[in-house]
């Protein structure tokens, strides 16, 4: 098979491209380079610069490279930005997906892997979030991911396309420093940024109903996430009954914000006391995945822990932010 990876030069996309190429899969990457970095991609993976909203480009890429499967990661993904620019998020995340699915169906592509998010669940009051937990997104970003899942399933049923939707939890770490996340949008780089600027980390709320009062999240190493994509792609390639499979990708273990900041302090050597500020609207006390379906359906389990995530992310941060 030949896989088209959209968003393939991005933080997650480049990890997926490398994991699949290293495993012997034929891969081509598509990225508009709004956040992607071409140097992240291995030499054997060709990069096409362009958007999933460009129907003619998609048709050409699918034909020229003989694409038989798609891994769709390209999307806007910042919650606050989605609240400020909801039309843009629906246009690019849902409209771009529709254009891609139409092109894929027209080219006879029969395998489609969709990058979704735990944001589709909203803030459920459960100990472990299973794939059957009701979806109730609380921001436009989560809404576009849920709408994307609906669209992927509908297109798959209409065009005989086997589909898998992977719902990521909190992604961190790097397989190599060059591949590290260069944005300052997720908690680990946000803490690094504060420390680099000689400022204390911030905790938003320490009065939640959790053991230490701070929010609990499920963190997944990006290299484990990439391996989950490889497992899902191979499941699709086997032609098994994967018509509308939806899978959580997490470790199934919760780590509090305070615990995470403690690990970051140990790794960086900067153990200053964090500042506690008021709660942010919409933050759930606890969001931890059930990883049972991933193990049963994909034969995949996360192998890396939080300290490895922080250590690898810190190496990447120092490469991209030299003193």
Crossing angle of helices 55-64 and 96-106, rounded to 10°: 40
How far apart CA 70 and CA 259 sit, in angstroms, is 37
C-alpha closest to that of 7 among 56, 75, 64: 75
Neighbouring CB atoms inside 10 A of 278's CB total: 9
Catalytic pick from 89, 141, 168, 219?
141
Distances in whole angstroms, Cα of residue 86 to Cα of each of 77, 141, 286: 11, 8, 26
Crossing angle of helices 306-320 and 257-268, rounded to 10°: 60
Q: Is 187 in a helix, a strand, or coil?
A: helix
CA angle 81-259-171, nearest 5°? 40
Does residue 11 have an active-site annotation? no
CA dihedral of residues 151, 122, 169, 294 (deg, nearest 10): -60
How far apart CA 110 and CA 133 sit, in angstroms, is 28
Q: Annotated catalytic sites, by residue? A: 141
């Amino acid at each position: 098979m030949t896989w088209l990876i959209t968003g393939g030069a991005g933080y997650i996309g480049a990890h997926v491209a490398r994991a699949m190429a290293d495993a012997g899969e034929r891969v081509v990457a598509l990225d508009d380079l709004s956040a992607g970095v071409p140097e992240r991609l291995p030499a054997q993976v060709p990069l096409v610069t362009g958007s999933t909203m460009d129907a003619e480009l998609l048709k050409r890429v699918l034909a020229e490279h003989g694409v038989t499967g798609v891994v769709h990661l390209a999307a806007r993904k910042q919650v606050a930005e989605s609240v400020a620019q909801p039309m843009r998020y629906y246009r690019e995340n849902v409209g771009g997906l529709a254009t891609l699915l139409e092109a894929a169906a027209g080219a006879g592509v029969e395998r489609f892997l969709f990058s979704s998010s735990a944001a589709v669940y909203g803030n459920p009051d459960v100990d472990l979030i299973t794939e059957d937990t009701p979806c109730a997104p609380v921001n436009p970003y989560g809404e576009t991911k849920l709408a994307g899942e609906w669209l992927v399933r509908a297109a798959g049923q209409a065009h005989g396309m086997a589909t898998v939707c992977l719902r990521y939890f909190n992604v961190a770490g790097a397989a190599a420093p060059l591949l590290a996340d260069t944005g300052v949008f997720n908690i680990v780089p946000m803490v690094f940024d504060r420390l680099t600027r000689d400022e204390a980390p911030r905790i938003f709320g320490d009065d939640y109903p959790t053991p230490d009062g701070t929010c609990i999240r499920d963190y997944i190493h990006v290299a484990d996430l990439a391996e989950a994509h490889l497992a899902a792609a191979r499941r699709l390639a086997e032609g098994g009954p994967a018509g509308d499979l939806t899978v959580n990708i997490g470790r199934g273990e919760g780590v509090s914000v305070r615990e995470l900041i403690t690990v970051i302090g140990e790794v960086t050597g900067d153990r200053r006391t964090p500042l506690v500020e008021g709660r942010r609207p919409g933050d759930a006390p606890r969001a931890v995945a059930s990883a049972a379906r991933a193990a049963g359906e994909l034969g995949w389990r996360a192998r890396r822990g939080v300290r490895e995530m922080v250590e690898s992310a810190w190496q990447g941060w120092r490469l991209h932010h030299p003193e």
